[in-house]
C-alpha cells in the first residue's frame, strides 16, 4: 500500500526555478506525450494548477514551470522536447542532501559481526579537525535499506549523518543485511535480533577507532532502529553511552500494527464501523501469525478465518464469499514479521540505564504517538531511568518531516528530509549528554 500511495502522488505548489547544481534534486519521469496540447490537457486532468503558462520547448530544449496539485505541496516541473515528443518530469528537490565539498572526513569501512557471513559495509564520517570525538551508530528502520536509508527519494540517514558530523560527532552508518555488499539474508529474511547483533558490532567497531572516545558512543535509531537501539543498550550497557529513538515504538509489534492500520484508514476517511471490523479481523490474523503454527498450517488457518466470516462482514470488507486465498497472507508469515509481532520494546526499555531521548511526531501514522510514547515513558519509569526525555513533536510525521496529514503519500512530495528543529533538538541533547559524561 505504501508504494502505491507514493507512486500515486500527483503534485504540488510553486517554487522558483533553481540553477543546476544549486541544490540537490531528483527528476521523476511523470508522463510522455506526443503534442504539447496533450501535455497541457494532462496537467488539467491531474488537477495541477500551473503558476504560469509554459511555452512548448523547441526540439532538444527544455522549459520549466511549477504548479499546485491536489496534495497542496509545491513542485517544479521540467518539460523536455526530445525528437518532437514531450517528456514531463516532476523535480523532487532535496535541499538537505549534502553536496560536496564537505567539511569533514568520510571513509568507507567494513566491520565484523558474530556471524562470519555478515560483514556490514558502511561509511564512517568525522570532523576534519580535532580528536577524541563522541560517536554514534545510525540504525535504519524496517526494510532493505542502504546506509543512507533512502525512503521516498529521501536519504534520511545521510542527512542525519551530515548534520551530526557537522556538530562534532563521528558517525557510522551501514548497509543492512543483504543490501549492497553486506552479507546475510535480505529483509524480511533476517529478524530484529539479527539487526540488533549488527548494531552492537557497529558500536564495538567504533570503540576500536583511535580518534573516538569509547566512553561517548551511542545509537540513533529510526522506527524499528529505535527498538534496536534499546535492545543493544539493554544487552550491552557497558558499550552504550546513550540512545536516541526517532519514531520508535513503545508497544508490542502486534499492538502497534493494529493501531497503525486503523490510523491509515482514518486518514483516508474510511468509516469507523469498517475500521473496527477490519481491526477485529486483523487481530485474528495477526494472532495466527504470532502463533507457533508452521508456515502452511498458519496459511490454512488464516484462509479459514476469512472464509468463516459472516456474509455481511465479507460484503463490508469487499471480500469474496470464499474468503481470501492463502497467498494473500505470505508476507505476514516472513521470519521478520512473525518475530516483530512478538517483540515488546518495553522489556528492553525497562533495562536501559543510559540516557534516552525518545521522539515521536504528532502526525506519525505508522507509530501512533499517544499510545507509543506512553508505552516508552512507562517502561523507562519502571526501570527507574533518571535520564530519559520523551517528547511528542508537533506537526512531524513518521519520516521526521513537517507534514500536513502524515499520510505516506506526502513523504515523496515534501522537500524537507528531516525537520531542522528535530535535528537541532537531537544534536543539542546529544552534546549535553556527552558533556556530562566526560
- The pLDDT tens digits of the residues spanning 321-354 come to 999 998 999 999 999 999 999 999 999 999 999 9
Residue 3: per-residue pLDDT: 24
- The pLDDT tens digits of the residues spanning 12-66 come to 222 233 333 345 889 999 999 999 999 999 999 999 999 999 999 999 999 999 9
More confident residue, 247 or 9: 247
- Is 90 exceeded by the pLDDT of residue 266? yes
pLDDT mean over 146-166 = 96
d(CA 80, CA 60): 7
Of 71-80, 126-135, 219-228, 373-382, least confident by mean pLDDT is: 71-80
- The pLDDT tens digits of the residues spanning 270-280 come to 999 999 999 99
Residue 261 — very low, low, confident or very high, per pLDDT cuts 50/70/90? very high
Residue 130: per-residue pLDDT: 95
pLDDT mean over 154-171 = 98
Indicate where the chain has its CATH 3.40.50.1820 domain(s).
104-252+343-436
Across all residues in the chain, what is the average pLDDT? Answer: 93
* High-pLDDT (> 90) share of the chain, %: 91
Within 13 Å, how many C-alpha atoms sit on residue 392's CB side?
A: 15
- Is 70 exceeded by the pLDDT of residue 356? yes
More confident residue, 435 or 269: 269
Pick the CATH number of 104-252+343-436 from 3.40.190.80, 3.40.50.1970, 3.40.50.1820, 3.40.605.10: 3.40.50.1820
Indicate where the chain has its CATH 3.30.70 domain(s).
10-93
Query: What number does CATH give the domain 10-93?
Result: 3.30.70
Answering whether pTM is above 0.85, one says: yes
Q: Could you tell me if 68 and 49 are in contact, meaning their C-beta atoms sit under 8 angstroms apart?
A: yes
Residue 23: per-residue pLDDT: 59
Residue 309: per-residue pLDDT: 95
Residue 21: per-residue pLDDT: 35
Residue 151: per-residue pLDDT: 87
Residue 229: per-residue pLDDT: 98
**229-251 b/e (C-beta count within 10 Å ≥ 16 → b):** bbbbbbbeeebbbbbbbbbbbbb
Residue 438: per-residue pLDDT: 65
pLDDT mean over 375-380 = 98
pLDDT mean over 352-372 = 98
Amino acid at each position: 500500500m505504501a508504494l502505491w500511495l507514493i507512486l500515486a502522488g500527483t503534485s504540488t505548489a510553486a517554487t522558483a526555478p533553481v540553477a543546476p547544481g544549486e541544490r540537490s534534486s531528483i527528476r521523476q519521469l511523470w508522463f510522455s506525450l506526443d503534442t504539447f496540447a496533450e501535455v497541457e490537457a494532462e496537467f488539467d486532468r491531474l488537477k495541477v494548477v500551473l503558476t504560469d503558462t509554459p511555452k512548448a520547448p523547441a526540439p532538444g530544449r527544455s522549459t520549466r514551470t511549477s504548479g499546485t496539485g491536489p496534495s497542496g505541496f509545491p513542485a517544479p516541473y521540467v518539460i523536455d522536447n526530445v525528437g518532437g515528443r514531450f517528456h514531463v518530469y516532476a523535480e523532487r528537490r532535496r535541499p538537505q542532501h549534502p553536496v560536496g565539498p564537505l567539511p569533514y572526513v568520510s571513509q568507507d569501512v567494513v566491520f565484523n559481526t558474530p556471524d562470519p557471513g555478515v560483514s556490514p559495509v558502511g561509511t564512517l564520517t568525522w570532523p576534519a579537525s580535532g580528536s577524541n570525538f563522541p560517536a554514534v551508530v545510525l540504525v535504519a528502520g524496517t526494510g532493505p535499506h542502504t546506509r543512507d536509508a533512502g525512503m521516498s527519494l529521501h536519504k534520511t540517514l545521510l542527512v542525519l549523518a551530515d548534520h551530526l558530523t557537522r556538530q562534532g560527532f563521528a558517525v557510522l552508518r551501514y548497509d543492512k543485511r543483504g543490501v549492497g555488499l553486506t552479507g546475510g539474508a535480505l529483509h524480511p529474511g533476517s529478524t530484529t535480533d539479527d539487526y540488533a547483533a549488527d548494531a552492537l558490532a557497529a558500536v564495538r567497531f567504533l570503540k576500536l577507532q583511535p580518534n573516538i572516545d569509547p566512553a561517548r558512543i551511542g545509537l540513533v535509531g529510526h522506527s524499528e532502529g529505535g527498538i534496536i537501539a534499546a535492545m543493544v543498550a539493554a544487552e550491552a550497557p557497558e558499550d552504550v553511552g546513550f540512545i536516541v529513538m526517532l519514531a520508535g515504538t513503545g508497544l508490542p509489534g502486534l499492538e502497534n500494527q493494529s493501531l497503525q492500520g486503523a490510523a491509515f484508514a482514518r486518514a483516508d476517511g474510511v468509516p469507523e464501523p469498517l475500521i473496527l471490523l477490519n481491526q477485529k479481523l486483523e487481530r485474528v490474523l495477526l494472532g495466527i501469525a504470532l502463533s507457533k503454527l508452521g508456515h502452511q498450517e498458519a496459511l490454512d488457518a488464516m484462509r479459514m478465518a476469512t472464509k468463516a466470516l459472516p456474509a455481511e462482514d465479507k460484503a463490508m470488507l469487499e471480500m469474496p464469499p470464499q474468503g481470501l486465498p492463502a497467498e494473500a497472507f505470505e508476507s505476514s508469515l516472513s521470519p521478520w514479521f512473525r518475530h516483530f509481532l512478538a517483540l515488546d520494546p518495553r522489556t528492553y526499555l525497562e533495562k536501559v540505564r543510559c540516557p534516552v531521548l525518545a521522539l515521536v511526531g504528532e502526525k506519525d501514522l505508522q507509530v501512533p504517538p499517544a499510545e507509543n510514547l506512553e508505552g516508552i515513558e512507562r517502561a523507562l519509569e519502571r526501570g527507574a531511568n533518571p535520564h530519559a526525555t520523551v517528547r511528542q513533536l508537533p506537526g512531524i510525521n513518521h519520516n521526521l518531516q513537517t507534514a500536513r496529514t502524515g499520510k505516506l503519500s506526502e513523504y515523496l512530495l515534501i522537500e524537507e528530509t528531516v525537520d531542522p528543529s528535530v535535528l537541532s533538538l537531537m544534536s543539542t541533547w546529544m552534546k549535553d549528554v556527552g558533556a556530562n559524561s566526560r
